Structure 1
C-alpha cells in the first residue's frame, strides 16, 4: 500500500480525484440564445450554365458578440471543398466581414473556374458555426434553361 502526503496529512491507499471546473465567460452565456443564421443563399436550386465560371456567395449573421469565434465554410456532398477538388477547379474565397444597418455579417464565396456536369449531381452546403450554435443551407446547381 502506498502512502502520500497532501497539505501535511498522510493518506494511505486512497485515490485522489481531481475535478476541474471551467467557467464560461459572460459573453458566451449572454449569446446562448443567439444561434447564427445564414441569410444567403436560400436553400434550393441555383441556375448555372455548363462550361462557364460561377460564384455562389454565402452570407451569415453570426449574432455572437465576440467576432473571433465565428467560422463560415462550404462543403460538397458533406466533404471539404479542397478534398473533393484538390486541383482547385472549385475553391473557397477568403472569409470576409462587413457591417450593414448595425448588423455584423461574415461571407465566403464558392468559386467555380468551370461548371461541369458532375457539379449538377452534387450538394453544396454553406455552414456557419459559433459557440452559440450553427446553421447550414444546402443548394444544388441546375442547368439554366435557354429560353
Structure 2
C-alpha cells in the first residue's frame, strides 16, 4: 500500500530510537507490562509516534490487564490499516498506522470485554505518543 508519509528506511532509522524502529518499522513487540501507557488514565489523544497521525482517544481506552494499552475503537476508522498476520504460527490481525504504515499492534475480537465494539486493539506503548487534553 502507498502511504501519505513515505520515507526511506535510513530516514526512519535516524528519526526513531532503535527500540521504536524495531517495533514501528520491523513489527516488533515491546515486553508486556513495560510500556509507559499500559496503565495511564490521562485524558488525551494517542498519536503515531513515527508520524504524528491521530490514532486513538483516551475515552476508548480500557483496562484489559493484557500488558499493553487497549482500546475498543480507533479515533477514525481510516486512521488504522488492518492486515492479516500469519506470523508466529497463528492468525491475527495486525494494526498499522494508515498514514505511514508503522506497526502498532494487533486487534482481537470476541474476547468478551464489556466494550461497545467487542474489539481489543492491543497497541504497543512505544508506537504511541499521548497528548493530554486540558479540561477547561
TM-score (normalizing by structure 1) = 0.27
Higher helix proportion, which one? 2
Higher strand proportion, which one? 1
TM-score (normalizing by structure 2) = 0.28
Larger Rg over CA atoms: 1
